[in-house]
């Protein structure tokens, strides 16, 4: 195997390693984003359950004039 082929193989291996590292980081970021979405949905569910016992029409006419 000549030195050019060896160098080319090393460059290709390094590029593949970089691509794998970037893909792993993107997967981690996607997992973190999904966890954040779950937290937001759980908080929304908790807020809705707190309002479940409120009488009909409450908050329908809110005066926001200053």
Average pLDDT, the chain: 87
State the average pLDDT over residues 42-63. Answer: 79
CA 15: distance to chain centroid?
26
Q: What is the mean pLDDT of residues 26-30?
A: 94
Note the pLDDT tens digit of each residue in 32-47: 999 999 999 999 888 8
SS3 letters across 1-30: CCHHHHHHHHHHHHHHHHHHHHHHHHHHHH
**pLDDT, position 1:** 67
Res. 11: pLDDT tops 80:
yes
Determine the Cα–Cα distance for residues 37 and 34; give it in Å rounded to an integer: 5
Rounded CA gap, 38 and 26, in Å? 18
Cα separation, 23 vs 41, whole angstroms: 27
């Amino acid at each position: 195997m000549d030195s050019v082929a060896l160098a080319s193989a090393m460059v290709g291996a390094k590029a593949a390693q970089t691509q794998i590292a970037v893909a792993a980081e993107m997967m981690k970021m996607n997992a973190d984003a999904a966890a954040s979405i779950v937290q937001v949905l759980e908080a929304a569910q908790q807020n809705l359950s707190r309002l479940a016992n409120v009488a009909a029409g409450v908050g329908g006419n809110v005066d926001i004039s200053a």
